[in-house]
Chain A
């Protein structure tokens, strides 16, 4: 198994939309994670979710990589888009949709399946 930080970096770099959250899309454990997930769902984003709760080191390594202290964190094609407040604001203004089109392509909505990736040491 590769190092936690390498696994996290690979998810950030390789997934179209990565959501690091507390809990899973099926069982959300935090209000802000819920808000970010719902905003991404409204935008039809193909979400790859990572639960940070199973191991506190996931959150530590993630924040060390991103320089962002709180959860959730949303990345689109390797770039930090923000936490719940920003993602919600961008979704409401239509800018999230624009970003997803630019970075993933016009057809991003079609691939809107959610999946969960497990990070483990």
Chain B
């Protein structure tokens, strides 16, 4: 399942400087996303996380993701 999330994020953030998805519990529904991208430069954390939520809208809506932790930062 981490592969599906990672490919969605790679498609949405092809320019990402750092991108990883970890299964926090091994159960396939608690994930930690870590993402660093120049697109985040100058955006608030709320705006940054919204972009991640947009990229993961499908697995969020269909219940694949039970819990999501997000760590984002710009590259500046």
Contact: A68 with B45, CB < 8 Å?
no
Total interface residues on B, CB under 8 Å, equals 13
Q: Shortest distance in angstroms between A92's beta carbon and chain B's nearest beta carbon?
A: 12
Query: What number of residue pairs across chains A and B have CB atoms under 8 A from each other?
Result: 32
Tell me if A6 is interfacial: C-beta within 8 Å of chain B.
no
Assess whether B53 is in contact with A90, with CB atoms less than 8 Å apart. Answer: no
**A interface: dominant SS:** mixed
CB-CB < 8 A to B53: which residues of A? Answer: 68-70
A68-B53, A69-B53, A69-B60 as given contacts; A32 in contact with B46, CB under 8 Å = no
Expressed in whole angstroms, the Cα–Cα distance for A58 and B62 within the complex equals 18
A105 interface hit (Cβ, 8 Å): no
Contact flag A67-B45 (CB < 8 Å), given A32-B67, A85-B71: no
Q: Are B46 and A81 in contact (CB under 8 A)?
A: yes
**Residues in B whose Cβ lies below 8 Å from that of A86:** 45-46, 49
CA distance A83 to B70 in the complex (A): 10
State the B residues within 8 Å of A (CB): 45-46, 49-50, 53, 57, 60-61, 67-71
